[in-house]
Amino acid sequence: MKQRVAYSPGLIALHWLSALLIAGVLVVGWLMGDMPKGVEKSNMMSLHQTLGVAVVVLAFLRLVLRRLQGVPPVELATPADKLAAMVQVALYGFMLLVPVLGYLTSSFGGHPVNLLGGAVSLPLLTAQNHDVHEQMGDLHQAMAYVMLALIALHVAGALKHHLILKDDVLAKMAPWVAKR
Ligand code: HEM
Ligand code: HEM
């Protein structure tokens, strides 16, 4: 396969769509956390779950597409490059882990996962268990915050490349950014 200098259009689209979805799932998660029990909260939960499941589906698609289409070579020249590469692998991991923990939280709570406003229902995976439901919810939330910290590091790295090192790392993923 020919070596790429930038990500394929499909991988770029999926990267930015996933970033938007994750921002959306977090905002909806925070909003629903403060709401009193009721129909509105259930609707927000369904939206949270729909966006969250979409995150996993897109992460899988990306992993398939990066196999098929290849990606630019990974730079591992400095410790910062190595950290960045590890953070990218971890981000894929968290895009799979956090939604799975969310699904388990719902399942231990005895709540089926209703997607797209109830058009699709995912089955319960486990028996109901109130204590495990609470612990799983805490773990889901904690892992979402670890993911948020990794995203902050990832964005800081991208900005460092663009603003300080003034290289083409951001342009690999953001074709609208002028090449240096
Ligand atoms: C929720 C937010 C985000 C997530 C989960 C995320 C995740 C990822 C992942 C997993 C990769 C590796 C892609 C691959 O090799 O298949 C990647 C690459 C990249 N991301 Fe993000 N990203 C996010 C937001 C951003 C933002 C806001 C920026 C820019 C400010 C950015 C800039 C980049 C760049 C430049 C690369 C290519 C790095 C390289 O190949 O050296 N990302 N991102
Ligand atoms: C990337 C995907 C996801 C992220 C970043 C995320 C993030 C969060 C956050 C931050 C909260 C805490 C809200 C608060 O109380 O302040 C939360 C709660 C919750 N999420 Fe997610 N979530 C994701 C996907 C999912 C999925 C796919 C499901 C289910 C299928 C789900 C089910 C839940 C449930 C049931 C709660 C309430 C937990 C509790 O009662 O303690 N989440 N999520």
User: What is the per-residue pLDDT for 41?
Assistant: 95
pTM of this prediction? 0.95
CA of 156 to the centre of ligand 1 (A): 11
When divided into structural domains, the chain yields a total of: 1
User: What is the per-residue pLDDT for 104?
Assistant: 98
Q: Give the whole-angstrom CA distance, residue 133 versus residue 2.
A: 48
User: What is the per-residue pLDDT for 178?
Assistant: 85
The answer to the question of residue 3 being in a domain is no
* Structural domain that includes position 150: 9-173
Using DSSP's 3-state secondary structure scheme, residue 113 falls into: strand
Residue 43 pLDDT grade (very low, low, confident, very high; cuts 50, 70, 90): very high
User: What is the per-residue pLDDT for 101?
Assistant: 98
Of 20, 173, 176, 177, the residue with max ligand 1 atoms within 8 A of its CB, to mutate for a pocket test, comes to: 173
Residue 42 CB–ligand 2 contact under 6 Å: no
The answer to the question of residue 112 being in a domain is yes
The answer to the question of residue 180 being in a domain is no
C-alpha closest to that of 46 among 113, 132, 119, 143: 113
Residue 169 CB–ligand 2 contact under 6 Å: no
Give the Cβ contact number of residue 84 at 10 Å: 21
Q: Give the whole-angstrom CA distance, residue 70 versus residue 16.
A: 18
| CA-based end-to-end distance of the chain | 26
The answer to the question of residue 2 being in a domain is no
User: What is the per-residue pLDDT for 179?
Assistant: 84
The answer to the question of residue 1 being in a domain is no
CA of 13 to the centre of ligand 1 (A): 11
Residue 1 pLDDT grade (very low, low, confident, very high; cuts 50, 70, 90): low
The answer to the question of residue 147 being in a domain is yes
The answer to the question of residue 4 being in a domain is no
Rounded to 5 degrees, what are φ and ψ at 119? -65, -30
The answer to the question of residue 43 being in a domain is yes
CATH number at residue 90: 1.20.950
